[in-house]
Amino acid sequence: MKTNTYQFILITFSGWLGSVLMGLVVVGTAIFSPHSSNFMFVSAGLYGSIFFALLKYRSLKEQVFGMIIMFFLNLVIFQGRSISVYIVIRDIVWLVSLFLSVKLYFLFIHKYSDVRHFLRSFALAFIFGLFSSASGLILFLINVGKFPPMDFIYTMARYGVLIGFGIGFGVDLYLQNKDKIFTLLKIKAI
C-alpha cells in the first residue's frame, strides 16, 4: 500500500477515535445506540474525519465524490426504507454544516500553521459548534415553523463543540506524532 493510503486511514481513524472518546467521556456508552442523538459522536466523527482525510490526501473530484457517497450511505444505513423529504433535507443540512466546518478548519490550520497542535482543535470546536447550532435552528424552522427553544440550540451547539474538539484533537494527535506512528507500525514514509 502507498504511504498516502496509510496516512488516509490513520488520520481518519485518529479523528474518529477522538470524537468517540469525547463521546464516551461526556455521555458514556449511549453513543453506540444508532437511534439516539448521542450517536452523532460516532457518525459525525467518522464523516468529519473521512472528509478531513479527503481534503488532505485526495483531489477535489474525490472530495466531492466522497461527500456524495457519505450522504447516500448515511441515508441507506440509518434510514433504510423510510426515507422522506424531511429526512433528506435534515441530512443535507447537517452534513453540509459538518463538511463546511471541517473545510474551514482545514484552511485555518494551513493558514495559521504556527498555532500549536492541540490548540488548533479548539478552532474546529468553535466552528462546528456554530454551524451545528445554526443547522439545528434552520431545520427546526423548516420542520416546525417557529423558533426552537434555547435548550435545543444549546444542545446542538454542545454536541458540535464536543464532536469538533474530538475530531480536531484526534487529527492533531496524529499529525504531531505521525513519524512515531509510522515507525511503530513499520511504515516507510516517503
pLDDT tens for each residue of 31-48? 999 888 899 999 999 999
Half-sphere exposure of 161 (CA within 13 A, CB side): 10
* Amino acid at position 178, single letter: K
CA distance 110 to 186: 28
pLDDT at 189: 57
pLDDT at 49: 97
pLDDT at 69: 93
pLDDT at 80: 65
pLDDT at 184: 83
Can you spell out the DSSP letters for 69-116?
HHHHHHHHHHHTT---HHHHHHHHHHHHHHHHHHHHHHHHHHHTTTSP
pLDDT at 5: 87
Listed as ranges, residues in the chain with pLDDT below 70 are 1, 3, 79-81, 187-190
pLDDT at 102: 97
Helices (H), 29-84: 40-57, 60-79
CA distance 48 to 183: 26
pLDDT at 37: 87
pLDDT at 160: 96
pLDDT at 149: 93
Burial of residue 11, with CB atoms counted within 10 A of its CB: 0-12 exposed, 13-18 middle, 19 or more buried: buried
pLDDT at 1: 59
CA distance 19 to 115: 21
Match 451547539 to its residue by C-alpha cell.
Answer: 157
Whether the model pTM is above 0.85: yes
Distances (CA, A) of 44 to 1, 33, 141, 176: 27, 14, 22, 23
Residues 96 and 51: beta-carbon distance below 8 Å: no
